Amino acid sequence: MLVLFMRGLHMALQLQKIDIRVLWLALGTFALGTDSFVMAGVLPSIAHDMGVTESVAGQLVTVFALAYAAGAPVLAAITGRWPRHRVLLSSLGVFCLANIGSAIAPNFRLLLLSRVLAGCCAALYSPMAYALGTSLAPPEKRGKALALVASGLMLATVFGSPAGTWVGEHFGWRFSFSLVVFLAGLACFVLLVVGVPGDKENATLSLKERLVPMREPRMLLALSPTLFGYLGIYLLYTYLGISLQQSMHLTDISGYLLVFGIGNLIGNWLAGFMTDRLGSARPMIMGQILVMLCLVLFSFASFFPIGALLTLLCLGIAMPSFFAPQQHRLLHLAPQHANVLLALNNSMLYLGIGSAGAIGGLLLHYAPALVLGPIGALWVLLALLLLLLSLWRGKRVQPVEIEQDVEKVA
């Protein structure tokens, strides 16, 4: 069945005149997404086996996300003059080694270090995969190639995270990391065999040039909804396994993660559809209001299987309103600096995820996990208020003109 599926997909890509190697780049992003999202399901098991509290175990999510957020601009500047194909293959290979380290880590400190290394490798691989994916397609098909590479992350929420959680619950959390190693290793091996095109010439930016938009107050305000919105969502999502364990005494939450992922897939399509027809502002506002309602309701709905499933489905549908419309809006605000702003938006996303792990871990010292939803809703409310302020200022000011030209990003 798998062979027939791969052959069918290969034929479809050939008809679209898109190189089959884009598919293997997407498998790499699928492995990265699985590694990032699976932690929510196996966190209680890791805490038990490592002899730490669940709030301390949550810092595994924090260090991965913060390493990604901080590492993305820094590592991109350091490796900017290196051939992109070498950076991509090296980062994916070391990512495999980092997850092997996570699977065999004898203590919590080494497990933390392996998550930092994995986060840094993910920060290097993702932008390179997007860049190489577009270079492997003709100009008129580059949007589809980019969407295909990005679909790996989306599919990770639908299949990767539930599958990794199920494996962890039935065979041990170390096997969840082994699944990630297999996926990333397969992608790395095939890309190494089929070859990835190198750069004819490298245009690169210094770290200072990459952070130019951060000196513009209006752009900081525009980026802030991503930070606080994902902080609010992941305050609950990071500790979802612990929340359901406390409310319904569940140990296997793979089915709940699957429903959340399906909602995410639906929401991603809806966000794109609504953005094309309504612009970016209204989908973001409606999505943030729905997210707040879901986060508050989850504290009550989590005591009942149907209630928890429906709430997570709605939360999954609303969640993409933070990202796709936000990217569209940033492109409108400063189109001449599109690549830099989209990279910074991605860093804000992971900074929000990392902050959620840290803040959630602190809250669990003083309160049950069920308070995480309502407190997360307050962070989303802050994101909504900042969005409305940014929209109000945007009507009064012309599109941003940033003093330095940082149009091209390596």
- 402 inside domain: no
What is the domain count for the chain? 2
The answer to whether residue 7 scores a pLDDT higher than 70 is no
User: Domain check: are 192 and 255 in the same one?
Assistant: no
The residue out of 149, 175, 197 marking a domain boundary is: 197
Q: Which of these ranges, 8-17, 18-27, 235-244, has the smallest mean pLDDT? A: 8-17
pTM: 0.79
Tell whether 265 and 349 lie within a shared domain: yes
Q: Which of residues 316 and 410 earns the better pLDDT score?
A: 316
115-137 in b/e form (b: 16+ CB < 10 A) is bbbbbbbbbbbbbbbbbbbbbbb
Residues 63-88 have a mean pLDDT of: 82
In a domain, 138, yes or no: yes
Asked whether residue 10 is domain-assigned, the answer is no
> Is pLDDT of 93 > 50?
yes
Q: Which amino acid is at 11?
A: M
Residue 2, domain member (yes or no): no
311-353 confidence digits (pLDDT tens): 999 999 998 887 778 877 877 776 666 667 777 788 888 899 9
pLDDT for the residue 16? 54
Both 50 and 131 in a single domain? yes
Which CATH number do you get for residue 154? 1.20.1250.20
The length of the chain in residues reads: 410
* Percent share of the chain, pLDDT over 90: 40
* Residue 92 in this model has a pLDDT that exceeds 90: yes
Residues 278 and 367 in one domain: yes
pLDDT given at position 153: 79
Residue 8 lies in a domain: no
What pLDDT is attached to residue 88?
87
Q: Is residue 404 part of a domain?
A: no
> Could you list the residue range(s) of the whole structural domain that residue 245 is in?
208-397
Residue 403 falls inside a structural domain: no
Convert the pLDDT of each residue in 17-35 to its tens digit: 567 788 888 899 999 989 9
Same-domain pairing of 147 and 216: no
Q: Are residues 289 and 319 in the same domain?
A: yes
Q: Do 176 and 28 sit in the same domain of this protein?
A: yes
In this structure, the answer to whether residues 173 and 273 fall within a common structural domain is no
* Among candidate residues 174, 197, 220, the one where a domain is terminated: 197
Confidence of residue 405 (pLDDT cuts 50, 70, 90): very low
Would the pLDDT of 400 be above 70? Answer: no
Residues 319 and 184 in one domain: no
pLDDT digits (tens, 9 = 90+) for 174-208: 999 999 999 999 999 998 888 877 655 455 666 66
DSSP string, 160-225: IHHHHHHHHHHH-HHHHHHHHHHHHHHHHHHHHHH-----SS-----HHHHTGGGG-HHHHHHHHH
